[in-house]
Structure 1
Amino acid sequence: MPFIRVTINEPDLAAETTRRIAEGLTELAVSALNKSAARTTVHLSLVPAALVYIAGAPVTGTGATAAHVEASITAGTTSAAEKEAFIRGAYELLKETLGALPPVAGVALHELHPESYGYNGITQLEHYRAS
């Protein structure tokens, strides 16, 4: 049940671009992390470039679009190779859809214990026990 948050320093990003990013990250959750598309959420936050800083300087005027992806997944359900494939694929997706990225465009996977993570009011641990 990945929850994927994407922060991009382009508040006026075209709807087609945001759709491509959301669909691409959902596809990566399925293909790289072996997760269910039906249980994958992608949340995009589009922020003004003046609010994004790298090395203490605003990204404004650099010609690059800053982006950061964070995905919450259940600990112990994904191999190192799967995580590496997701990180690589997410970076490539951002580069393809956004163009020039600053050298610190990041992708982070947060692994949460199944007792501390869930949906519909039920922990992942309970979902696993029920299935």
Structure 2
Amino acid sequence: MVKISQGEGGPVQFRHRMEGLTSLVQGHRHSFGNLTDLVIPEDGRHRHTFRGITTTADGHRHTYTGQTGLNIGTGPNHFHRFRIMTNVADGHRHIITGRTTGVIRLGTTVGHRLIIEKIERQRVK
């Protein structure tokens, strides 16, 4: 998370939203959704770190972590491409690929949307 400026009531941060569906593996896909984390400067451009957990499908879920590609464009409408593999779960992995949204402003006045999944505890017999 990068603090850019002080807004009313606290720091304002700028990030990108990432969301979509994983590749199809063993007959199923997972949804993913997260915000980028740290900014990594690189030769006058930058990339972001990110991490998340997919939704449950076929009785399991996957974690993932990675870095976006370098920024494409400049200013508030720039975006990043990404392509990574999830961790192994249930004997396989999925590819997560796509592009981020433009910059979104987080702080006391602007919210964001993430995938939130209800987790239920089930008894194993």
Higher helix share: 1
Higher strand share: 2
Report which of the two structures shows the higher radius of gyration computed on alpha carbons: 2
Shared fold per TM-score greater than 0.5: no
TM-score (norm 1): 0.31
